[in-house]
Amino acid sequence: MMDILNILLSESFWAASLRIATPLIFGVLGALICERAGVLNLGIEGIFVVGAMCGWMAVWLGAGLWGGVLVAALAGAFFGLLHAILTVPLGLSQHVSGLGITLFATSVSYYTYRTALPNVSSPPRIEPFQPLDLPVLSDLPFLGSVLFQQTALTWLALLLVALVWYVLNRTALGVAIKAVGDNPDSVDAQGLSVYGLRIGAIVVGSALMALGGAFLTMSAFDAFFFGMVNGRGWVCIALVIFASWRPGKALLGALLFGAFDALQVRLQTEVGALVPGQVFLMVPYVLSIIALVIAARSADYPRALLTPWFKGQR
Amino acid sequence: MTDSIVLKLNGLSKHFGPVIANDNVSLTLNKGEVLALLGENGAGKTTLMNMLFGHYLPDAGSIEVADEGGVLRPLPLGHPQVALASGVGMVHQHFTLAENISALDNITLGSEPLLSLRRNRRAARRRIEGIMAQSGLSAPLDTPVGRLSVGERQRVEILKALYRNARILVLDEPTAVLTPQEADTLFENIRLMTDEGLSVIFISHKLREVLAFSDRIAVLRHGRKVGEMATSEADEKSIAQMMVGAETPELAGSYLTPGDPVLTMSGVSVAGRSKRDTLTAIDLTVHAHEILGIAGVSGNGQSGLANVIAGLVRPEQGLIKVDGVEIASPTPAKMVRAGVGRIPEDRHHEGIVGAMSVAENMVIERLKDPEVQSYGLLRREDIQDNAERLSKAYDVRGPGVDAPARLLSGGNIQKLILARVFDLSPRLILANQPTRGLDMGAAAEVGKRLLNARARGAGVVLISEDLDELLSLADRIVVIRDGELHEAPGRDREQIGLMMAGEPA
Amino acid sequence: MIRIELRQTQSRAFTLGVPILSAVIALGFAAIPLLAAGANPIAAYAEMFRGVFGSVFAFSEVLTRATPLIFTGLAAALAFRAKLWNIGAEGQLYLGAMAAVAIGSGVLDITGILLLPLIVLMGAAAGAAGMVAPTYLKTRFGADEVVTTLLLNFIILIFVQMMLEGPLQDPMGLGWPQSAPVLDQGMLPPLMERMRVHSGLVLALILAGLAQFMLARSVWGFKLRAVGENAAAARHAGINVNRSLFGVAILSGGLAGLAGVSEVAGLKGYLTADLSPGFGYTGIVVAMLAGLSPVGVVIAALFIASVFVGADSMSRAMGVSSFLADLVVSVSLLCVLVGGFVARYRIVRASTARAVS
């Protein structure tokens, strides 16, 4: 017990939690925006891969770190647009389209990677984002050193939580997005474009998802590997439900998840002899399922989620 | 009231596939006038207004709307945004409100620049409060709309249109969800607004309210305008003729002595998710040879009652007996086996599996029947023969028994359900809004079948929002309100109306 | 002005034409990545064709590759028919494979002719078990089965790795994370000499035929179709929707489990953690290409297996990444989706001029 307490009180533990949570924050926010507008985006897993691959490759080709971030976001937006066209004006199954996008985006990424680097056994490394030393903030006790270890992308993720919250709750655009996810007719009757809002939300949401992927290759690691996303996208889909589609709770969910993940790594070194390591590896996925089950019944689903809307049919 | 024209519809036509919804309809609307658009269900009233509002694109015809200076200008068709900007506001039958945002947000939705980072909610609130004071319409502005009552939601809908400076307001069946008394208040408010220069078209199929509240009446039938007159010159009988075409068939059955109880519910309670499917310790008895009418404003527990009798919901408390036999923890299958025939409220959603064939839909309630299957395999020829026989007996028309059921028209889907239900000679029939959305002929057919079943000795529970239908078919009327049942002492329309509204009768 | 209208009827030509056209478009699309890789597309297509039809062995490889895809394709098709989104065939496949090696590698003292049927049955049961939990969570708690089955795939794969480094590890395997081999009596017999195609294919074909028949002709199939097309109406008509869902969940999981059995006991002989290159996910594409028809699954599985086998041999000959096959498969899924839209709706051009005049 003492061990766990020691871990929980250590700065490095919370720094690690925040680091693990960062890609999830991007992903959950992205999925949240899509679903608030009424569209499930199961393309998330593949869009993570695309973001990871494109961001890293752009940097490797000399685009600079922020150039890489931009390329990743644009790549994510592109696949989001594809999903949006299939599910919004065409009204096709959001499940199947999303899975199709995941398969497509993943295979495009892998094929591009293999074609660009046909014969390498280990990928070339880039110089990733470095921890950001902000004056004043970094000097705060405890919190300062937790935050001090984070890169600019983590700061960006935290900033986006606030921004998404502000847009959803304090702007006309946010009201319209929430309305289109609840009852598209309400938006249509007021002369706003249901298609425009939904497509826009999916494109922006997908760009955020891709940033989650980019974090993996440009901040958490320094290169692209096959299978590196490893279900993080799906975890985000579960966390959105856990978060009841609220940005603040999404942050909380991602942090909790990060904390559990960081904890399991540390526990593994403590009690690794007693339990096979794989048990710990399962923990994040099991936790996601538990979170989903807890939240599912009481979840306040956007009422129009999964339901296509066609102009002139009511 | 001035006589300047604010709206002209010129020869509008619209068809959906082979169905002609509107055929060369022309209308004018004067400033400050209440024009009633009267017609049976399916006469094309809503389609006409949807063209005006830009939801549908007409196949032919044009629309002119007066601008603020009173000059008629052609309205570009098929663009709700343009219609809104030209001062046309529409309150749909199914409210177009987002339930997860407040009334204020619903009202201002679409009127602010989307990409601005700030909103001026205070100015918006002041303006809405001004409009509320002027029109007499009031609703809580900050509560999520999902928690408002039906009447409040309707007022939010109207406020939405007024906030957009609507000079022409279209109300599609505004009283369908209101008690008679609430409806009166609504019409008083409309009067207040027309005095301020608003022009109103209200769509209805209820003759009484049209005669009481409009200035002018236009009657639609089968998509055509068949008559138009000032309300002061209107004659109830002739308008009814115009609406219906032929004489209304006389339905009401002769008196029959009620037999033994076929359905007894005592102390049945259901804690539903909302008011519409909650029941509070109800007692109900239906006898053989009896049609029991359930009257009430929609959403007062009708769904809960129907769900229990259909076996879809297991009540938390209480006892249900069909034909004297207790049904413990009812399921739909148990109810069917006990001899309950169920005509669901939403025939598309609960009545048929649209993608499956007409023949399959006709046996879907009897999959254990040896006529339908042996050793778990479908007897396809028998299923086919059964469908042919029922189609003939119940006049189900469509592209054939092998075609997907969704290809049938609404009336024929209802006939399919009637065939499936009545062919099993049920002891008890639950008919939930059985004539909603049907044309007069099909509705009369439903009434005839129910009366025949009653004559045969079945008991019927008829749930309807149409008081006229209940008065013409039911032997006895019970009012449902807030999940409780109250026996109506007589057949007095006014009194039943008051009971529906919850006023002491 | 362009509008979208629901077609009243759907022609048979469309039902058959859409998947075929999608496959052709997806193959045609492959020219872009081929060009990007600097390969001559025509030569590449020729190489792929040779890799599929060039010899009896080549085609037998297609059949071998198609076998697990028929199983996972059926798993997806049946579940999707009931609108049960089982995306967990990948995990269920591994469960089936684990059961096969657990029983078949001599750990349990069962030998003789009973062994093979037992392996098949227990493999199916293990796969089915993997689908019961998500279905329970869905019907009891409303937890989206898409997410739970997806996450279970990861959990099960980690579990497999754990088993392969633990109880199931081959003691003679020099420490490699692999299981002991399935005994000879437990192996699905090969169909042709010196070829890898095995009798798992026969089992897959029989099950596809059976599924097709039961879906159309049995009360079970009737209920499944009703539940999938309109659960509310099915429930109202007295069909026990949850029971139907559990029934199809068990079948779907069982079929996916058989894919694992067939790979282990028909092909590899032992279990490793890289047994499946995503057969579970590819099965979804197979099912969609097949329009969720069991017989269609067989044809779609053959097509997709051809793409994989052809791309492999093309990749060896021309040095283009074999991820090309995954690209073609995913594009064909997206095409068939759009094709399904074209078949169901028609786009009507309403002339604005006429409407205004």
Say if C347 is an interface residue toward chain A (CB within 8 Å).
no
Q: How confident is the model at residue A220 (pLDDT cuts 50, 70, 90)?
A: very high
Structure pTM?
0.90
Positions in chain C short of pLDDT 70:
1-12, 107, 110-111, 345-357
Which amino acid does the sequence have at B165?
A: N
Based on the fold, state whether residues B336 and B476 are members of the same structural domain. yes
- In this complex, the residue of C219, C229, C356 whose CB is nearest that of residue B378 is C219
Cβ atoms B99, B109 nearer than 8 A:
no
Q: Quote the mean pLDDT of chain B.
A: 88
Residues B155 and B271 in one domain: no
Tell me the average pLDDT across B436-449: 82
CA distance B93 to chain C (A): 23
B128 and B238 belong to one structural domain:
yes
Within-domain flag for B249: no
pLDDT for residue A272: 63
B250 found inside a domain: no
In this structure, are B113 and B236 located in the same domain?
A: yes
The predicted structure's pLDDT at residue C40: 92
Question: Of B401, B361, B366, whose CA–CA distance to B385 is shortest?
Answer: B401
Q: Is A296 helix (H, G, I), strand (E, B) or coil?
A: helix
Angle at CA of residue C67, ends C82 and C326, nearest 5° = 80
Q: Are B462 and B431 in contact (CB under 8 A)?
A: yes
Q: Answer yes or no: do A176 and B114 touch at CB < 8 A.
A: yes
pLDDT score for B272? 81
Q: Looking at B193, B216, B244, which one is the last position of a domain?
A: B244
CA distances for B211 relative to A180, B124, B146, B214, B418, angstroms: 39, 37, 34, 6, 35
Looking at residue B454, its pLDDT comes to: 94
Extract the tokens encoding C291. 């329009």
Same-domain check for residues B412 and B299: yes
Give me the CATH topology for the region A14-118+139-296: ABC transporter involved in vitamin B12 uptake, BtuC (1.10.3470)
- What is the share, in percent, of chain B residues with pLDDT greater than 70? 95
Nearest chain C residue to B59 by CA: give it. C355
Nearest CA to CA, how far is A93 from chain C (Å)?
A: 8
For residue B335, give the chain C residue with the closest CA. Answer: C238
Does the beta-carbon distance from B105 to A179 stay under 8 Å?
yes
Contacts of B114 in chain A (CB under 8 A): 172-173, 176, 192
Of B191, B216, B244, which residue sits at a domain end?
Answer: B244
- Distances in whole angstroms, Cα of residue B459 to Cα of each of B329, B467, B475: 22, 20, 11
Average pLDDT over residues A37-63: 97
- CA of C232 vs chain B CAs: smallest distance (Å): 5
For residues B62-80, average pLDDT: 89
pLDDT (mean) for A67-77: 98
Q: Are B36 and B137 in a shared domain?
A: yes
Confidence label for A136 from pLDDT (cuts 50, 70 and 90): confident
Q: Which residue from C minimizes the CA distance to B408?
A: C8
Domains detected in chain C:
2-356 (1.10.3470)
Helix locations, B226-368, DSSP H: 236-244, 302-310, 332-337, 358-363
If asked whether residues B163 and B308 sit together in one domain, one would say: no
Instruction: With CA atoms as reference, report the closest residue to A177 among A163, A166, A187.
Output: A187
B252 in a structural domain: no
As given in the structure block, the two tokens for residue C261 are: 């059995």
Q: Which two tokens stand for residue B438?
A: 């049907």
Partners of A302 on chain B (C-beta within 8 Å) are 100
Whether B225 and B268 map to the same domain: the answer is: no
Work out the pLDDT band at B505, boundaries 50, 70, 90. Answer: very low
Please give the residue that has the higher pLDDT: either A187 or A264. A187
Residue-wise pLDDT for B8-62, tens only, equals: 999 999 987 666 889 999 999 999 999 999 877 667 888 898 899 888 889 999 9
Residues B317 and B352 in one domain: yes
- Under 8 Å CB-to-CB from A69, ≥6 apart: which residues? A55, A153, A211, A214, A218
> Under an 8 A CB cutoff, do C237 and B332 touch?
yes
CA–CA separation, C54 vs B343, rounded Å?
A: 62
Does residue B435 fall inside a structural domain? yes
The dihedrals phi and psi of B227, each to the nearest 5 degrees, come to -175, 155
- pLDDT average, residue stretch B227-253: 71
Q: Based on the structure, what is the number of domains in chain B?
A: 2
Range of the domain at B66: 5-244
Which chains have 3 or more CB–CB distances shorter than 8 Å to chain C? A, B
Residues B238 and B385 reside in one and the same domain: no
pLDDT of residue C348: 57
Q: What is the pLDDT of residue B436?
A: 82
CA distances from C137 to A283, A298, C148 (A): 18, 14, 8
Residues of B in contact with C232 (CB under 8 A): 349-350
Which segments of B239-361 are extended strands (E)? 261-270, 279-287, 290-295, 317-322, 325-326, 340-343
B152 and B284, same domain (yes or no): no
Query: Using 50, 70 and 90 to split pLDDT, how confident is the model at A23?
Result: very high
Instruction: Tell me, yes or no, whether B257 lies in a domain.
Output: no
Interface test mutation site (partner A, options C321, C341, C348, max chain A beta carbons within 10 A)? C321
Contacts of B312 in chain C (CB under 8 A): 235-236
CB of B304 within 8 A of CB of B277? yes
The domain that holds B61 is classified in CATH as 3.40.50.300
Q: What is the pLDDT of residue A79?
A: 98
Q: Indicate whether B340 belongs to any domain.
A: yes
Q: Report CA torsion sign: B471, B476, B481, B486.
A: positive
Which pLDDT band holds residue A170 (cuts at 50, 70, 90)? Answer: very high
Return the percentage of chain A with pLDDT > 90, whole number: 70
Please report which residue ranges of B247-379 form alpha helices under DSSP H.
302-310, 332-337, 358-363
CA distance A243 to chain C (A): 14
* Rounded distance between C-alpha atoms, residue A127 and residue A130, angstroms: 8
Q: Between A and C, how many residue pairs show a Cβ–Cβ distance under 8 A?
A: 134
